[in-house]
Amino acid sequence: MKKTILFLIFHSLFFNSFAQNNLSNIHFQNDFKQFQTIIEKINPQLEIKRSVTNYNILRQIANYQKQIDTCTNIQSFINIIQHCLSANIDNHFYLTDSLIVSEITEREAQRRNFEKMKMIKTCFLSKSLIKRTHKILPVKYIDGKYFLINDITQANYLFSSGSEILECNHLQIDTFVKENIDNFINASHWDFDNQKFFNEYFYLTIDDNVHNLLIENELLEFSKNIVYTFENSFYTQKKIESIDNILYIKIPEMSLDSFYINELLKYQTSEIHGVIIDIRGNMGGTDEAWQKILSLILDADFEYIEPIYFRNTKLLKKEFGIKAPIAKNNNFARKYYLDFSQTNKIFKHENSLKYNGKIIVIQDRTIFSGASNFINAISQKENVFIIGQSSGWLLGYTSMPRIFSLKNTHISFVMPISIDIQNTKKISESYRNKIDFEIPLNLEYYQNIYSDKKSNDIIKNDILIQKAIDIISE
């Protein structure tokens, strides 16, 4: 298998290098038009995002036409396409390598196993685009403002946790985020209350795209040495433990892992009064991960509807052979979408805990992809309560990423082709999953979660876990 992959890599690099040496500006022009058409006809968020946020993806991409007009080499073209992918504001859009991905598409991508996709993405992005190696700064967006949630020290000056960030690169912070909407490493989110985009992913990157921050009235300059920690081991740590006979399960990512199977089997003979499943910060993975966990918990097989809605365009139907009826759940769905939803079933594991009581799921605004699929499924079950923050901040549930290739440059990229609009009556609801108990998360909450405290101390001060325990005890 390794020899096959190495051969494909060599073949891909050789073929692309040969092809790219014979490219002219007209090739870049034609590929850019093809790219624009794919986004226009297949992106499932296009009309919804424009209607809800007044952000026009096609117009943002069209702004790069002048750069295409003067583009003379493949590297410049790749950079432009990368920015245009980021302009879709969805982490399902990224560059990849078609030869490697095509081998695993049906086996992995269709089952939403994004781990290999992410690995491929990291391996094949141009060196000038790999800017993800440095630490993220301890910044959080709370009630329309940006704050440090850990201390930062520079030249013996302490920028204290809780300090407000006012500017970035000498621009007012909201202006900086708006003007760099297609430059951030992770997709920006939408703040419904304040009606603006925000982004918490400020990195010290190779090209130093963030040079300085104005914090309170002091300037933090990244050209000088700075010292800080951004502890989040609790947030990212796999965990199963009993809290007063309540089973607490922390799932930081949807990956198939023997850890959950082995740990859950230890509780077969235990008395369980409740189950808490914590998926905060979970950016997805394979659906098989959460399906396996549920099969080990539930007392019976569980059926759920998987909502799949495609754009109703000739190009999509031609590319993927889609045959489905027009969606009927609301006016905008009838205008733009096909309904390809289907019923799935999770079968109870033979060694299941056979639990049939309350299940509390804790989520925050960052959950994405496979984590959103989990929320959609589990919320269809009785005795399940979702608490925390709506995931609508990420602007919709897209899924089913597929690979597209540009004709002349052979550049390949991934984008989603479906969206969940199952329970929406109006267009703005496409961005919010329903929360049974929506709980505002303040500065103290983030300072607790991203601290160097011991796990037990964090849990005692975690308002979401304590709320979950209260609901089970009622």
Please, which pLDDT band fits residue 454 given cuts at 50, 70 and 90? confident
Domain boundaries, the chain: 2-129, 139-228, 233-401+419-473
3-class secondary structure, 212: strand
Q: Output the pLDDT for position 269.
A: 86
Q: Which two tokens stand for residue 220?
A: 């933090």
Q: Output the pLDDT for position 294.
A: 96
Question: Which has the higher per-residue pLDDT, 15 or 46?
Answer: 46
Q: Kindly give, in sequence order, each residue whose CB lies less than 8 Å from that of residue 261, ignoring residues fewer than 6 positions away.
A: 292, 296
Q: Output the pLDDT for position 223.
A: 66
Please, which pLDDT band fits residue 97 given cuts at 50, 70 and 90? low
Q: Output the pLDDT for position 232.
A: 63
Q: Output the pLDDT for position 130.
A: 36
Q: Output the pLDDT for position 352.
A: 93
Q: Output the pLDDT for position 184.
A: 81
Query: Residue 128 pLDDT > 70, yes or no?
Result: no
Q: Specify whether the CB–CB gap between 182 and 87 falls below 8 A.
A: yes
Compute the mean pLDDT over every residue in the chain, rounded to the nearest whole number. Answer: 82
Model confidence pLDDT, tens digit, residues 203-216: 755 444 677 889 99
Question: Which has the higher per-residue pLDDT, 131 or 445?
Answer: 445
Amino acid identity at 409: T
Please, which pLDDT band fits residue 176 given cuts at 50, 70 and 90? very high
Mean pLDDT of 138-144: 92
The sign of the CA dihedral 195, 376, 426, 385 is negative
Which ranges of 244-342 would DSSP assign to H, the alpha helix? Answer: 258-265, 287-297, 314-320, 331-336
Q: Output the pLDDT for position 117.
A: 38
Model confidence pLDDT, tens digit, residues 381-420: 999 999 998 876 655 578 888 899 999 999 999 999 998 8
Query: Residue 358 pLDDT > 70, yes or no?
Result: yes
Q: Which helix (H) or strand (E) holds 466?
A: helix 463-473
Q: What share of the chain is helix, strand, coil (3-state, %, to 5)?
A: 40, 20, 40
Instruction: Please compute Rg for the chain using Cα positions.
Output: 23
Q: Output the pLDDT for position 17.
A: 46
Q: Output the pLDDT for position 202.
A: 80
CA 24 from chain centre, in angstroms, equals 36
Q: Output the pLDDT for position 22.
A: 80
Please, which pLDDT band fits residue 367 given cuts at 50, 70 and 90? confident
| CATH 2.60.120.260 assigned to 233-401+419-473 | no
Query: Residue 442 pLDDT > 90, yes or no?
Result: yes
